[in-house]
Structure 1
Amino acid sequence: MPVFQIHHITKYEYDRPVKESINEIKIYPYPCNEQEVLVHEIVITDSPEVNTYYDYWGNKAGVFNNLAAHQSLVIESKLVVRTTASSQLKINFHSGFDQLKTEVNEDIYLVELSTVKQIEHQQAIQDIAAGLLQHPQQTVAAIAEKCCEYIFKNFKYIKGITTIETTVDEILGHRSGVCQDFAHLMLQILRTLQIPCRYVSGYICPNKNGMRGEGATHAWVEVYVPQFGWAGIDPTNNVWVTNQHVKLSVGRDFNDCTPVKGVFTGISKQHLTAFVSIGYEDGTVFEELNDVSTPRTPNEEKALYDTDYGTQGVQQQQ
């Protein structure tokens, strides 16, 4: 059961004072049996009171505000977490779609997560989905595994060509992207097959074993396997999720899992930097610093930001 020390600093700097900054954070580890929080401390500029709650998806979220004028906002998370899942996930590869239908019909939550969003190029998604169904009796887990492999082999991992607002239609055109893009694509394919699945935001901690996305916020998918439950699968690395992933939040898509978002009053250009350090039990430390600037909106007094940091956002700007 590995233990990871994760230090995550998100820093906003403004070229002129802003005020009335109201923010929501989802940087708390997701409550589940696969991980155990040993220490977690969050430090925020000016030490505002953080009101926490659990959202519809079971994520722990915090809300705080900085009303006074300020030119910087720093959110620092210091986490020590033990992942308790096995390094070899024992997934049920026997349950098929008949069993899935029975379980989905009894759970409105699963119905919602199996409802596909119609997009412009849905026919292309239908074609991909049809290619995965070569044998009518394939199990749900087998289909998820084939979908993961298809994305890994047919879409290139390239930073900088997509943003947090990139759509599935655009990903199909690029045939490339990063972890957030691959997660959204996989969700679209699986939901087209009426398989419940959800977006996951977190960290990947592989200690330099060649997996992509190390050292920054990462994204993957959880698929609902009948008579088993939720199983994580990572299309960026073509692996089932075991004890090298740390989960922060889940939802329908990225918008339900945004680590930091909020609004402020003022006309300012903001500069965002995100530092992530992951320490391993053998003493190895992986560090990464990313930065991104956002343009001033001179005709709007109310400036909004909805910014992910790490692999899903900042690295795309590099």
Structure 2
Amino acid sequence: MTVALPKQYSIQHDTYFDYDEAVNNKVMLVRLQPRNDRGQYLRTFSLTTEPDSNPVACVDSFGNVCHTISIFGKSTKTHIRSTSRVNTIQGIDLDALQPITWDELQNQSRRVQFWHYLAPSQLVYPGEALDDFITKHGLKPGQDPLVTLRKLCSDLYNQLEYQPGSTTVESSLEFFLERGKGVCQDYTHAMLALGRKWGIPCRYVSGYLYILSPSHTHSQEVASHAWPEFWLPEAGWIGLDPTNDSVVDHRFVRVAQGRDYADVAPTRGVIFGGGRMSISVKVTMKPVESESTTGIGHEKNQAQVHLETLPWRRKNSIKVPPDQNGSDQ
């Protein structure tokens, strides 16, 4: 089987906080460092703030590298900038995978590491709105879990409307399903709710998406993005993007993973003072010519992360919303 050479991207993520009144102190937890596993290699990463701080790295329970930022002294503005260089790979062709049965999936997904990804979470859960949505659109599992998921990805893409500004990061799953309009965070939560209802371990992934061409896609030129991943026997974790009816491939850069958005929020914290606050986010993502595939393993150390190595998978086409209320979707 032929696997494409890695694609390399340079990413800069800027978050700006503005306050009506001076903030005395601020403590934040940020998840902005791309993951370094499953065929994705983090070559370099840096994190800076203004006012200056000394970010402290840690790893959360989902293996995401986080940084704690403490800023002391009065200020009316805060700027957080992360820069990274990442290699991604195409992955394997999902069409080449052998069919599996639901019994095979259920037997292997009983392991303790999947419990979090099968149970209801803060933002992904069963309910009347989900049942009504299933009935309205005639959604049901087919004979093969992978075929079922790919059909569901297309169904959500066709049955829901991508509309930036129609929801916020606080919008509930019920609100989205009843209105039928939202952004990538909402599409991801809906597909996770259906996957878990059918007994498929699945998780929320935040990251970035490089847009080759704005045509034939609902994405903005460059933005942060979200999509679900599903675990299947033999295949491992596979990514599908219902916002764009696409299979996740080398255009996607993974930053954090968890049960839902609440586990992967890019910025979260506490401030003392400040009054009203406004947030703006700007992401730039550029392809970089890869010198060669040699040396990638050596350059990983520059990122100071070593996470688990798991199998990775593959692709197809693309919606990434502009940031709402200053939060990455």
Task: Tell me, in whole angstroms, the C-alpha distance in 1 between the residues paired with 2:80 and 2:96.
Answer: 37
Q: Name the structure 2 match of 1:151.
A: 156
Given candidates 259, 262, 276, the residue that maps to 1:252 is 259
Q: Name the structure 1 match of 2:315.
A: none
Task: Tell me, in whole angstroms, the C-alpha distance in 2 between the residues paired with 1:70 and 1:110.
Answer: 44
Given candidates 61, 79, 88, the residue that maps to 2:84 is 79
Structure 1: gaps of 5 or more residues:
283-287, 294-306, 313-318
Q: Name the structure 2 match of 1:302.
A: none
Question: 1:14-58, CA deviations, whole angstroms, 9 ceiling, x for partnerless residues?
Answer: 121012211000001112122112221111123312221111111
Change (3 A) 1:101 1:50: same
Name the SS for the 2:47 alignment partner: strand
When structure 1 is superposed on structure 2, of 243-252 and 44-53 the one drifting more is 44-53
Instruction: Say if 2:241 and 2:247, in contact at 8 Å, map to a contact too.
Output: yes
Pairing 1:19–2:40 present: no
Q: Name the structure 1 match of 2:70.
A: 65
Name the SS for the 2:151 alignment partner: helix
Task: Tell me, in whole angstroms, the C-alpha distance in 1 between the residues paired with 2:182 and 2:134.
Answer: 20
Instruction: Say if 2:126 and 2:197, in contact at 8 Å, map to a contact too.
Output: no
Name the SS for the 1:189 alignment partner: helix
Q: Name the structure 1 match of 2:327.
A: 308
Q: Name the structure 2 match of 1:196.
A: 201
TM-score (norm 1): 0.84
When structure 1 is superposed on structure 2, of 121-130 and 72-81 the one drifting more is 121-130
Aligned residues: 288
Question: 1:63-99, CA deviations, whole angstroms, 9 ceiling, x for partnerless residues?
Answer: 1111211111111011111112338456634122111
Instruction: Say if 2:169 and 2:324, in contact at 8 Å, map to a contact too.
Output: no
Change (3 A) 1:89 1:75: farther
Change (3 A) 1:188 1:38: same
Aligned CA-pair RMSD = 2.3
Change (3 A) 1:35 1:84: same
Given candidates 119, 123, 126, the residue that maps to 2:131 is 123
Superposed, 1:140-179 pairs within 5 Å as: 140-179=145-184
Change (3 A) 1:108 1:127: farther
Instruction: Say if 2:20 and 2:274, in contact at 8 Å, map to a contact too.
Output: no
Change (3 A) 1:292 1:160: closer
Superposed, 1:1-318 pairs within 5 Å as: 1-86=6-91, 88-89=93-94, 92-105=97-110, 107-116=111-120, 117-127=125-135, 131-133=139-141, 135=142, 138-208=143-213, 210=215, 211-213=217-219, 214-281=221-288, 308-309=327-328, 312=329
Q: Name the structure 2 match of 1:296.
A: none
Name the SS for the 1:30 alignment partner: coil
Name the SS for the 2:114 alignment partner: helix
Change (3 A) 1:244 1:291: closer
Name the SS for the 1:173 alignment partner: helix
One-letter code of the match for 1:272?
A: I
